[in-house]
Amino acid sequence: MHISVKKAGLFTTLQDLGRTGWRQAGIPVSGAMDPFALRTANLLVGNEEGEAALEMTMTGPTLEMEANLLIAICGADLQPRINGQPVKNWRPVYVRKGAVLSFAGSVKGCRAYLAVAGGFAVQPVLGSKATYTRAGIGGFCGRALEIGDRLAIGTMSKSALRRLSQLARRAGNRAYAEGEWYVGPGFLPPYRANPTVRVTRGGQFSWFSERGKENFFTEAFQISAQSDRMGYRLTGPEISLCHPRELLSEAVTPGTVQVPADGQPIILMADCQTTGGYPKIAEVITADLPVLAQMKPGEKVRFAEVSVNEAQRQYRKQEKKLALLKKRLALL
């Protein structure tokens, strides 16, 4: 079973939950920018939640199905179409062999995830299928998709085969059929344009001036066009230090907010380096990384401080939702 690429889209890569255990060797985690959407899409099609899916940016690819498949699209609304007909996000969808999946472009959010029952049959690199394009490793040939690529699909689970069979009967002679069950808005992270994301204090928070701290927590910052999977560069009021200081490089993670000498923050994202030498004013909480992942250049973000205990509570709350989804899908 294969999916063939007719158009590649703006930037489409295979991503899973990342390449863990290699940061001491300088290898980034990578993986999905919005892990919540990836995990949900996989659960909807009967995969393990960490299976690789296509991360599609802004415009999305055009894909032809070379077999009858069960798919789910979660995350941004890129206006998916099957043979030109609109199809909805956040639910399982049966797609007949020969049908073409395309995307009209983003109307909400930045990144969507296409999971396929059985997963994508690519060889893991250092224990992960995640694409890290800067090193040319993982995913499909270590790069973003190109026209003419053919993606092999793995073996479906028993639950996936049952869901596919149910939806195939509903489809009849049509090219596709959507599941009646779907993930509702109340279950999702607080996706919205120009959001406020929650942060804890960074390792060098005390280095910043009172004016710099006030600017960080009261003003909005715009995501610049010089932003990618490695980091979001922000523009806004200056975040100043009390006085110039040097910092030896130390560990950073996705969500770290660094402030270089120009006073303009950088939020590190999924492909970020493993160490950094800029002072860290804050750390975005794990539960809000999916919200950041769906932001586009030109949007504005604000920051709100929370305690470490609150950050952990929000993480547990998100994990409980995914565990509940898994249980409910098992009952189907």
CB atoms under 10 Å from CB of 317, counted, come to 10
- Given CA atoms 198, 114, 138, 123 in this order, what sign does their dihedral have? positive
pLDDT number for residue 212: 96
Q: Quick: pLDDT tens for 31-41.
A: 999 999 999 99
Task: Find, among 164, 105, 162, 149, the residue nearest to 14 by Cα.
Answer: 149
pLDDT band at residue 92, thresholds of 50, 70 and 90? very high
223, 167: one domain:
no
Is residue 43 predicted with pLDDT exceeding 80? yes
- Residue 133 pLDDT > 90, yes or no? yes
Same domain, 74 and 28: yes
- The verdict on residue 126 lying in a domain is yes
290-327 residue pLDDT tens: 999 999 999 999 999 999 999 999 999 999 999 999 99
Instruction: Residue 254: name the closest of 286, 302, 224 by CA.
Output: 286
**At CA 315, angle to CA 58 and CA 217, rounded to 5?**
70
Query: Which residue, of 129, 164, 188, is where some domain finishes?
Result: 188
Could you tell me the two tokens for 29?
A: 């985690």
What are 47-61's pLDDT values in tens digits?
999 999 999 999 999
> Does 67 map to a domain?
yes
Q: Which residues share a beta bridge with 301?
A: 221
Residue 218, burial from CB neighbour count under 10 angstroms (0-12, 13-18, 19+): exposed
In a domain, 13, yes or no: yes
Counted residue by residue, the chain has a size of 332
How large is the average pLDDT for residues 106-124?
96
Range of the domain at 294: 196-320
Q: Which residues contact 278 (CB under 8 A, 6 or more apart)?
A: 247, 258, 259, 260, 266
Q: Give the pTM.
A: 0.95
Instruction: Determine, yes or no, domain membership for 249.
Output: yes
Q: CA 300 to CA 195: how far, in whole Å? A: 7
Residue 64 lies in a domain: yes
Residue 331 lies in a domain: no
